[in-house]
Amino acid sequence: MTKNLHLRPLEKSDLEFMHNMRVKSDVMDYWFEEPYTTLEKMNTMYENSQDNDSHRQFILYQNDERIGYVGLFDIETRHRNAEFGIMIAPEHQGKGYAADATRLTVEYGFNKVNLRKLYLYVDEVNEKAVHIYKKLGFQVDGTLREHYFVNGEYHDAYVMSLLRKDYTFGQ
């Protein structure tokens, strides 16, 4: 595990860092979203989300440096599942942070939120992400054919999930 890698709740002071990632197409294409937002809009979304218990949003950092963002979204308390998402800042990609950040978030979801299942959507051409998810125990549940429009063409996406009973803690 990458040393000194931590999660802390997203704060208003992190929004400029988030905005810098959200306006980059090489980041947002993997979120299947346009790289289009304003800092003002992000401030509004942040303020509106403060009473929403169905999301857990974190800044990933090492020592005092922000590395990325992870989250658990649409947390279902009855069914005990949530969607997982991750965004690593471009200057920190390729350094092994994604696997460790995923592991930290999975363990938070299972151990702190008492989730039973995490799921995600990933572009099938994002081979590095698919490899990381499989390495941590996520399985492909199915393929959404030509589901997302990215860079002028439709892409297939995998739906992947991880059950708590299948996860090996501390791997």
* Structural domain includes residue 106: yes
* Structural domain includes residue 153: yes
Average pLDDT along the chain: 93
Query: Considering the entire predicted model, what is its pTM?
Result: 0.92
Confidence of residue 51 (pLDDT cuts 50, 70, 90): confident
Q: Residue 171's pLDDT is what?
A: 61
Confidence of residue 28 (pLDDT cuts 50, 70, 90): confident
* Structural domain includes residue 55: yes
Q: Calculate mean pLDDT across residues 123-134.
A: 95
* Structural domain includes residue 38: yes
List, for residues 137-161, the tens digit of each pLDDT value.
Answer: 999 999 999 999 998 999 999 999 9
Looking at the 3D structure of the chain, how many domains does it have? 1
Q: Residue 31's pLDDT is what?
A: 82
Residue type, 151: N
- The range of the structural domain enclosing residue 130 comes to 5-166
Asked if 133 is an active-site residue, the reply is yes
Q: Residue 4's pLDDT is what?
A: 82
Of the listed 30, 69, 97, 133, which one is catalytic? 133
* Structural domain includes residue 171: no
The percent helix, strand, coil of the chain (3-state, each to 5) is 35, 35, 30
* Structural domain includes residue 97: yes
CATH number, domain of 55, equals 3.40.630.30
* Structural domain includes residue 91: yes
CA distance 111 to 67: 23
